[in-house]
Chains A and B, each alone.
Chain A
Amino acid sequence: MDILHHIFFGLGIALQPMNLLFCFIGVLIGTLVGVLPGLGPVAAISLLLPATFHVSPVASIIMLSGIYYGAMYGGSTTSILVNIPGEAASVVTCFDGYQMARKGRAGPALGIAAFGSFIAGTLGVVGLAFMAPPLAAMALKFGPPEYFSLMVLGLTVLTFLAGGSMLKSLMMACFGVVVGNVGLDLITARPRFTFGWDILLDGVGLVPVVMGLFGISEVLLNVEEKLSKREIFKTEFKGLLPNLQDWKESIWPILRGSGLGFFLGILPGGGAVISSFVSYGVEKKLSKHPEEFGKGAIAGVAGPESANNSATAGAFIPLLTLGLPSNAVMAILLGALMIYNMPPGPRLIASNPNLFWGVISSMYIGNVMLLVLNLPLIGIWVKILKVPYPVLFPLILLFCLIGAYSLNNNPMEIGLMLIFGVLGYLMKKFKYDGAPLVLAMVLGPLMDNSLRQSLLMSGGSGMIFFTRPICLVILGAVTLILLLPVLPLISRIRKTVEKTEGN
């Protein structure tokens, strides 16, 4: 069994003291980020990215991944106890988790969320270990036209699945492509969109953009809100272990949620968020007592919490095998891997097996750590929830400022972050999603490169994208996705025309 051999090899790397320590730091910060409303995993990872430049790439990616899946664990705590989701993927947990807490069952709700997350996280990691290598082997056959088509598909699916208007998401993707191409052109060495700013010659850094769009903007939005007191249940968390009946009602939702989450996580665009909603819908539909959903059904906590955790494992598949990030967190990890000179893609498994298998194995260890952190230490997390926002937000801002400055020891990086912070604030006000912008920004230079290579290969013929079977299938899917929102409109127009002709 090759896979088992690889997993043991990975465990050997993940269990090295330094990697173990960074895995622990990652899941601890992740849980903290998940618990604290107003600071998501995207902002936290971008804040800590500069700090990881001093450690080994493997330890760094292990830590950053730990923050991501750790946040999914922590997010359930605030949803259940305060009815405020710590991060977007835990919104659904509020529906039944909070109701369970109101009925004095906060303990079993937190317990099943943690156990469900653990089981799903574990299954997700196993799925990742089995699926990634064959997919990477297949991706080795891809050339620039296939890569370009795949990136177009990734961006299209993301804009389709992202929250809000697809039109606005597409606009952000276009703007992101331009932001990603700021700086010296790789082929002609001509500066593009630098406007005389030397700092832009190397391109716009991912870290200031992400910190601005997701960190600073979130703080600005919270600052303008009038403060309300958070109501936390003063429950004694004695019975955290779910009883037999709870397990009976939860085990299938956990398993279904794990499968759903994993496959939806692979798709570009907020896999964890969407999978939690889909899982909730599926469980409600399959339940013998759908009327109990929204009133404290444990299956409504178990399913979505499992789904959002396994989605995090699924999200690693396109990144590690194709080099294509499926959400904003993966885009930052892609940026981090680029900085460490380990470009992700089909060759990553062969060229850096210690990174690939080390990170996968660390995720399993991290899931065990999270179970230990979340259940016995729940009292500490509840206390952290009581940190007042007037104290918390200056700390978040300070971390953003130091993080941006320490990139190049240049205050202009802070300026860049502030520009994107204000832009992000306005984008949220006007309901524009930041994720397509970040993803397109990361993919922008790769798209530019693969498009130009494809055209050079074909001697200037755009038909290269329509004569290669894989490209054709992918671009066909893109067309279908783009047409989906227009189809109801076309049908309405046709009916109107028929009606008019009839009259």
Chain B
Amino acid sequence: MESSSKNSDWAFTRKINGAGFPCFDNKLISEGIGLRMRNPDQSSSLFWLVIGIGIALCSLKYGFGNLHEPGPGFITFFAGAILIILSLTLFFFSFRDQKTRISLQSLWAGLETGKVLYVIFLLVAYTFLLKPVGFLIGTFFLLSLLFRVKGSYRLKTIFLMSFLVTAGSYIIFEIWLKAQLPKGVLGF
């Protein structure tokens, strides 16, 4: 029997040599694997497990029907059920590859994650403000802020670039392609 490292964070041992069958080690389970779980595959599989359960339950609510008369939730129930099985499989398999395991935190190590959150925040704010503020003003300010995210341009350059891009996109989409962009409370 081959056992994984004693210091394993994963609370797992491989009980069949080479066969790759993951089996829980009761002692380590008692220490609480959920609290120290950092493997990306384990976290993501649990996420999809919850999604799968949600899909299956909702599908039953919509009506599974029967084989003679399948209901609206028929195919989605199966999709949800398969998702549950697959995410459980991934969860168990994620304990197998001890050599290649990486921590969840390492996915964002050395990266400018704050900038990603800032860009998402700007885009969400733009979504909510687009109708009341209008395309021209909203886009001008959005671009002014976005150009500063990765670049170190002078304020004058940023405003000039934002103005040109906003005007250019307005001409292409509103005037040429008649996209009916929102005018906002100020009417432009």
The answer to whether A493 and B19 touch across the interface, beta carbons within 8 angstroms, is yes
Cβ contacts under 8 Å, A415 to chain B: 124, 127
The answer to whether B150 touches A193, judged by C-beta atoms less than 8 angstroms apart, is no
- Is residue B72 within 8 Å, beta carbon to beta carbon, of the partner chain? yes
Question: Given A174-B86, A190-B63, A451-B70, A394–B179 Cβ distance below 8 Å?
Answer: no
User: Which residues of A lie under 8 Å from residue B150 when comparing CB positions?
Assistant: 223, 227, 389-390, 393
* B107: interface (CB < 8 Å): yes
Determine whether the beta carbon of B67 is less than 8 Å from that of A224: no
In the complex, residue of chain A having the shortest beta-carbon distance to the beta carbon of B84: A174
Are B63 and A174 in contact, with the CB atoms below 8 A?
no
CA distance A422 to B117 in the complex (A): 10
Asked if residues A496 and B74 are in contact (CB atoms below 8 Å), the reply is: no
Question: Would you list which residues of chain B between 17 and 54 have a CB under 8 Å from chain A?
Answer: 17-21, 40-41, 43-44, 48, 51-52
B76 touches A192 (CB 8 A): yes
Q: Which residues of A contact B149 (CB under 8 A)?
A: 223, 390, 393-394
Q: Is B93 an interface residue (CB 8 A)?
A: yes
Inter-chain contact A401/B79, CB cutoff 8 Å: no
> Does residue A2 face the partner (Cβ distance < 8 Å to B)?
no
Query: At the interface, yes or no: B7 with Cβ under 8 Å from chain A?
Result: no
Least CB distance from B24 to A in Å reads 19
Given contacts A226-B112, A391-B151, contact A462 B67 (CB under 8 A): yes
B-chain residues with CB within 8 Å of residue A399 when the two chains form the complex: 169
A467 an interface residue at 8 Å Cβ cutoff? no
Contact among A225, A432, A493 with B16 in the assembled complex (CB-CB below 8 Å): A493
* Contact string against B for A residues 379-406, beta-carbon threshold 8 Å, 1 for contact and 0 otherwise: 0000000001111011101110110011
Question: A165: shortest Cβ distance to chain B, in Å?
Answer: 8
Query: Which residues of the partner chain B approach A171 to less than 8 Å between Cβ atoms?
Result: 48, 83, 86-87, 90
Given contacts A190-B72, A455-B68, contact A489 B20 (CB under 8 A): yes
CA distance A273 to B107 in the complex (A): 25
Chain A residues with CB under 8 Å of B137's CB are: none
Size range of the chain B interface in the assembly:
35 or more
Q: Does A277 contact B (CB under 8 A)?
A: no
How many angstroms from the CA of A184 to the CA of B81 in the assembled complex?
21
Q: Is the CB of A51 within 8 A of B177?
A: yes
A178 touches B79 (CB 8 A): yes
- What is the interface size of chain A, counting residues whose CB is below 8 A from a CB of the partner? 69
> In the docked arrangement, what's the CA distance between A456 and B126, Å?
48
A402 to chain B, nearest CB (A): 5
* Interface assignment of A219: CB less than 8 Å from any CB of chain B: yes
Closest chain B residue to A224, Cβ basis: B111
User: Is A187 on the interface with B (CB-CB < 8 A)?
Assistant: yes
**A223's contact among B16, B119, B169, B178, by CB below 8 Å, is which?**
B119
Contact B116 A425 (CB under 8 A): yes
Known contacts A489-B20, A492-B18: A177-B180 contact under CB 8 Å: no
Which of A402, A422, A448, A495 makes the CB contact (< 8 A) with B75? Answer: A448
User: Do A54 and B178 have beta carbons less than 8 Å apart?
Assistant: yes
Do the beta carbons of B151 and A192 come within 8 Å of each other? no
Quick one: which of B75, B89, B131 contacts A167, CB cutoff 8 A?
Answer: B89
Determine the residue in chain B with the shortest Cβ distance to A389. B150
Which of B72, B86, B90, B113 counts the most chain A CB atoms within 10 A?
B72
Asked if B76 and A181 make an inter-chain contact with CB atoms under 8 angstroms apart, the answer reads yes
* In the assembled complex, B147 has its CB within 8 A of some CB on chain A: yes
A409 contacts partner chain B, Cβ-Cβ < 8 Å: yes
Chain A: CB-nearest residue to B110: A226
Name B180's closest neighbour in chain A (CB-CB). Answer: A409
* Contacting pair A406 B180 (CB below 8 A): yes
User: A398 touching B165 by the CB < 8 A rule?
Assistant: yes
A496 touches B127 (CB 8 A): no
The 9 closest A-B pairs by CB, nearest first: A390-B151, A460-B68, A394-B146, A185-B72, A390-B150, A460-B67, A406-B179, A174-B83, A224-B111
Q: Knowing that A167-B93, A174-B79, A394-B146 are A-B contacts, what are 15 other residue pairs whose CB atoms are under 8 Å apart, sorted by A's residue number?
A: A170-B86, A171-B48, A171-B87, A171-B90, A178-B55, A178-B76, A187-B72, A188-B63, A190-B62, A193-B58, A226-B111, A391-B161, A406-B179, A421-B123, A460-B68
Residues on A lying within 8 angstroms of B by beta carbon are 50-51, 54, 165, 167-168, 170-171, 174-175, 177-178, 181, 185, 187-188, 190, 192-193, 216, 219-220, 223-227, 388-391, 393-395, 397-399, 401-402, 405-406, 409, 411, 414-415, 418, 421-422, 425, 429-432, 444, 447-448, 451-452, 455-456, 459-462, 489, 492-493, 495-496
Cross-chain pairs A/B with CB under 8 angstroms, 15 sampled: A171-B48, A181-B75, A188-B63, A224-B115, A390-B149, A393-B150, A394-B149, A397-B146, A402-B181, A421-B123, A429-B40, A430-B41, A430-B44, A451-B75, A492-B19
